[in-house]
Amino acid sequence: MKILVTGGAGYVGSHVVRALKRANHSVLVIDDLSTGSAAFAERNGVELLEGDVGDAAFLDGVFEGRGIELVVHCAGRAVVAESVREPDRYFAVNTVAGHVLLEAMRRHGATKIVFSSTCSVYGLPESLPVTERTPTRPVTPYGSSKLAFEQMLQGYARAYGFKALSLRYFNVGGAATEGDLGDLNASGTRLIPNLIKAARSRRVFSVFGHNYPTRDGTGERDFIHVEDLARAHAQAVARLEIIEPLRFGGALNLGMGRGHTVREVLSEVETQLDETIQIREVPRRPGDPPALVADPSLARSVIGFSTQHDLKSIVSSARAFEERERQPGGLLLERERLLQTKVASGEARLRFGEAVIKAGFVEQETVDAALKVQRDRDGIGDPHQFLGLILLEMGAISSAQLIQTLRTVQS
């Protein structure tokens, strides 16, 4: 088929594109490159059209005359804590722009869609593992914005004959076996890239929450390798023509079916890198459930989903990508240089610590710890010259939060 992948230059989207190409589909990618990379589209050998999913005129130009039969919708924002602070942005991107996409599909006769959804639609489940019958009660705007689009898909399926399947995935990790696709936002909120970075730089790592009702007190999550996830999208595309999603609710859980705690993941990273990671226990983040583990049995029966990777494989592939892209000219190195340029500009950088606390991104104790690193490691006293980058290295803030804070202090 001729398939359009939104967000196909991003972390998950680029792996989905590769899986679809291996299944002999013709793939076109659109991406606004806010978090994605044109290099990923180039490495996959696909055409990339840069633009916004919420731009109706742009979408008309994409669909016109291209014979697109199916859309895999991976574009969207996906940082839970950020959604709590900026709900308007999340509903605008994940829900409203999604509606613009559906209307473009309807205008051009493309009525099949596979949607990248999330386990966050379940909120704080009362029992584990999570099945598709678990009540959907999102506790963050991120989960709510994704669920709203799922419900929109159901409406379009009933009213306009759309074939729509939502894939609710749990915690994604790892990188392509070839080592050329992976998570470029390693300074964001995903656990494994941040642990790898902490191990390599020998920096203190912040563990959010240490008194959860889990086996070691840290949060427990179901991790799925990004290649297993991508293959599931290709399987969903292959089966969409013959299944009736409305008969089983239109959504499938994608996970390993087994949970790992933060400390267990930390231990695996330490083992593979032969490094000890120093940790700092900090308060829980808003909206984080104690544990989330999937029951993927419905996906197994409907689309033939199974996982081929374990936690060891997830960590080792992420590690290989990180090593490759930190070489001269590597994508991770270039992104970090860009962030450093942003941090280094403007005299108002001295107020960074105050601004990041005021925004609710971190507590005072985290800023104090970062300032101590700045003094002990870099020999700089009170000025907040490198504070943003240090908080980034600690995993205390995401790259998006860094940029937002810089805009605040420089305005």
For 131-175, the pLDDT digits (tens) are 999 999 999 899 999 999 999 999 999 999 999 999 999 999 999
The answer to whether residues 230 and 133 belong to one domain is yes
Using the predicted structure, report yes or no on whether residue 117 has a pLDDT greater than 60.
yes
Using the predicted structure, report yes or no on whether residue 187 has a pLDDT greater than 50.
no
Q: What are phi and psi of 110, to 5 degrees?
A: -100, 105
Domain range for 398 is: 330-410
Residue 281 in domain: no
| pLDDT score for 154 | 98
The answer to whether residues 100 and 170 belong to one domain is yes
The answer to whether residues 243 and 352 belong to one domain is no
Catalytic residues: 142
| pLDDT score for 244 | 96
Question: Could you give the residue ranges of the DSSP H alpha helices within 241-360?
Answer: 262-273, 297-303, 311-325, 331-344, 352-358
| pLDDT score for 189 | 72
Mean pLDDT to the nearest integer, 100-122: 97
Residue 192 in domain: no
Number of domains within the chain: 2
Tens digits of residue pLDDT in 234-262: 999 999 999 999 999 999 999 999 999 99
Cross-strand partners of 121: none
The answer to whether residues 246 and 164 belong to one domain is yes
Going by DSSP bridges, is the β-strand pair 2-6/70-73 parallel, antiparallel, or unpaired? Answer: parallel
Helix (H) or strand (E) holding 27: strand 26-31
Cα–Cα dist 110/104, whole Å: 8
Cα–Cα dist 388/56, whole Å: 37
Residue 211 in domain: no
The answer to whether residues 252 and 112 belong to one domain is yes
Percentage of residues in the chain having pLDDT higher than 90: 69
